[in-house]
Structure 1
Amino acid sequence: MRELRVSVLPPYNFDLVLDRLSLDPLNSVDISSRTVKVPFYGEEDEILEVTATGTTDDPSFLVQMEKEDRGNARLDYLKKVFQWEGTLQEIHQHFLDTDLKDIFTEHSGTPVVLEFNPYSTLMKSIIHQQLNLAFAHTLTQRFVHKFGREKDGVWFYPAPGETAILDVDELREMQFSQRKAEYVIGVSKEIAEGRLNLQELEKKPDDEILKELVKLRGIGPWTAENYLMFALGRQNLFPKTDIGIQNALKKLYGMDRKPTLAEIDEMSEAWSPYLSYASLYLWRSIENRK
């Protein structure tokens, strides 16, 4: 086991990061030891263990790796996933002059942590479409437990090629709808057969990525925006059709109804160019946390 010490710029609240990661039952999180085990998708499945050793104002981490990190591929991956480069101070300061001041003060130092794999981000988003969060997690868990892989308590999503050859009935048996099963298999085929190259897609600007993704059956604006935020870490996305966002805004402004899309546009105007952070912190404001 290789060990590495990492320091990042404050503020950075890893306890709130773990709190949110723990909402997904597929994540291997230990709140008491301030540790998360991260799946690393390479030629072989590996586990990277990240433990917080510092505070919000002096953040530091112990990273444990199974193999030597030649070329810093594993560390670079963790830096990207946990947004360890740069500082949240400028973003935090931006929101202190907006209607989100109190929410940003409560959740100060929470980064937009990425999902652990771009392909799994797409699969999770498609599965979660139009479902309540509890059943969405249950359905995703069934999918990964049946077709993915487990190593030392850490779950890895199946590869695109493995999902592409599934039969719709295999997913229907898990309570997938007919269409959702078709979407999961169809998008996986696009990737497995090379028509959708996620590595090449990452190099493009937001608007081009959105246009390319929504061409695929089963991927609408909500899923595409989630991909930009949680697979690529783009900072200025605001999925205004998301029910959670709408409910958070209803709560924030004390409304007796959900805001209209036009009202949401007006509300969120001052939050650019960090709309992804506005989205995350609004979700945090209504999540049932442990």
Structure 2
Amino acid sequence: MNWTDGQSFITIHPPDPFSFDECLIFLGRNDREILHTISDGCLMKLVRLNGELILIKVQSVNDSLKVEFLNGIPSEAAREKAVEYIWEWFDLDTDLSHFYKWGSDDPVLSELIRRYTGLRMIAIHDLFEALVWAVLGQQINLTFAYTLKKRLVEAYGEKLTIHGETYWLFPPFEEIALLGEADLRKLQITGRKAAYIIGIAAAMKDGRLTKESLRKLDEQQARKALLQYKGIGAWTADYVMMKCFHVKTSFPIADVGLQNALKAAMGYERKPKLEEMESFSHKWEGWQGYAAFYLWRSLYDEAI
């Protein structure tokens, strides 16, 4: 990790290719997002690092990322954690040049690579947040999923208000594990999803399910471990493996958005069938996750 420490700020030097603007487009895809804000090319997010509550402001300056700390100077250990957080958030360990060279002759990926050069797979660091977000999004449209997440965060998340602006943390699994299904149904979360979310929170609270334990497994073992829990099906497991663990081989073939993006990219009159999705997955072996992420990005062009 290449960075310099200014105490009240840090400067991170991402590897090429990297486009902060492209990452902001993906992060800004819905105005109901509550866990970060974007204004004038700056990204604001509340995080807890090394036990410290920190409000960060991220912007691109001379091809580097300047990360300012807006609520005081964190400890040296927390500043180092901030570097790790940003590095993982934007998947800066991945050498995108390999993906671009590999996909340069592919009729679908070559055009996406040209349009979105520098876009990286944006992470959801917290396993509980990733799982809950995936469960909330099952069988509903994206806008309503954001609405449900906003209600959940405002009801049970921690907040910090500075200069009249309020910033939020995702609720911890320890708190959600103590709730009853009726508590979540008040937010218009269905009874079934409420049971799933509370069950996942309970598994994390008692230590059965942790990010650290999953990291010790290979990809197939980790996926199998996730599938043991109610509410985590194939799509949810693949999504979480992509977003929380940056697994490059995850490809959620049943994802409607992915199917729609491929339909548009291929000029189809209909969405691809399951066997066609499997064929694409095999064709893109090794980089399925990035292929999916770039296809998802293509869905937002009409809104820009």
Structure 1 residues 37-71: Cα deviation after superposition (integer angstroms, max 9, x where no partner): 252354243223221113xxxx3111223402328
When residues 190 and 41 of structure 1 are mapped into structure 2, their CA distance, relative to the original with a 3 A threshold, is farther
Q: Deviations over 1:104-148 (max 9, x none)?
A: 111111000101422211111111111100101001110111011
Which ranges of structure 1 fall in alignment gaps of 5 or more residues?
none
Given residue 76 of structure 2, which amino acid in structure 1 is its aligned partner?
D
Range with bigger deviation, 205-214 or 149-158? 149-158
Equivalent residue, structure 2, for 1:192: 205
Contact 1:19 1:289 in 2 (8 A): no
* Secondary structure of residue in 1 paired with 2:245: coil
Aligned match of 2:43 = 35
For residue 17 of structure 1, give the secondary structure of its aligned residue in structure 2.
helix
TM-score calculated relative to the size of structure 2: 0.89
Aligned counterpart, 1:157? 170
Q: Deviations over 1:267-286 (max 9, x none)?
A: 33332211111001111111
> 1:209 aligns to what SS in structure 2?
helix
1:181 maps onto 2:181 in alignment: no
Aligned CA distance change for structure 1 residues 250 and 105 (closer, same or farther; 3 Å): same
Please give the secondary structure, in 1, of the residue aligned with 2:40. coil
Q: Which residue of 1 aligns with 2:54?
A: 46
Secondary structure at 1:85's aligned position in 2?
A: coil
Shift of 1:255: 1.5
- Quick check: 251-260 or 40-49, which moved more? 40-49
Q: Distance in 1 between matches of 2:40 and 2:101?
A: 30
Aligned match of 1:219: 232
Give the residue type in structure 2 aligned to 1:12. Answer: F
State the identity as a percent.
28
Q: State the Cα RMSD in Å.
A: 1.7
Task: Give deviations 1:73-111, integer Å, cap 9, x for gaps.
Answer: 221122111122343122122111102211111111100
What does residue range 179-258 of structure 1 map to in structure 2 within 5 Å?
179-258=192-271
Residue identity in the other structure for 1:285: S
Q: What's the secondary structure of 1:231's corresponding residue? A: helix
Contact 2:50 2:81 in 1 (8 A): no
* Amino acid of the structure 1 residue aligned with 2:64: S
Tell whether 2:82 aligns with 1:69: no
Counterpart amino acid of residue 212 in structure 1: A
Closer, same or farther: CA 126–232 of 1 in aligned 2, 3 Å: same
Give, in angstroms, the shift of residue 205 of structure 1.
Answer: 1.2
**Cα pair 2:44 2:55 within 8 Å, conserved:** no
Are 2:131 and 1:122 aligned?
yes
Report the equivalent of 2:97: 89
Provide TM-score, normalisation by structure 1: 0.93
- Which 10-residue stretch deviates more, 100-109 or 68-77? 68-77
Q: Quick check: 264-273 or 157-166, which moved more?
A: 264-273
- Does 102-111 or 191-200 show the bigger shift? 191-200
- Post-superposition shift, 1:167? 1.3
Residue type at the aligned position of 1:4: I
The aligned counterpart of 1:17 is 23
The letter for the 2-side match of 1:138 is: T
Tell me, in whole angstroms, the C-alpha distance in 2 between the residues paired with 1:96 and 1:27: 35
Q: Relative to structure 2, which stretch is displaced further, 39-48 or 186-195?
A: 39-48
Write the distance in 1 (CA, Å) between the matches of 2:189 and 2:38: 30
Q: 1:27 Cα shift?
A: 3.5
Q: How many residues align?
A: 286
CA contact (8 A) 2:23 2:119 kept: yes
Over 3 Å counting, the alpha-carbon distance change for 1:271 and 1:38 in structure 2 is farther
Cα distance in 1, alignment partners of residues 76 and 103 from structure 2: 37
* Distance 1:111-1:38 versus aligned 2 partners, 3 A rule: farther
Instruction: Give the superposition deviation at 1:158.
Output: 1.1
1:140 has 2:149 as partner: yes
Q: Which runs of 4+ in 1 moved over 4 A?
A: none
Amino acid at match of 1:62: K
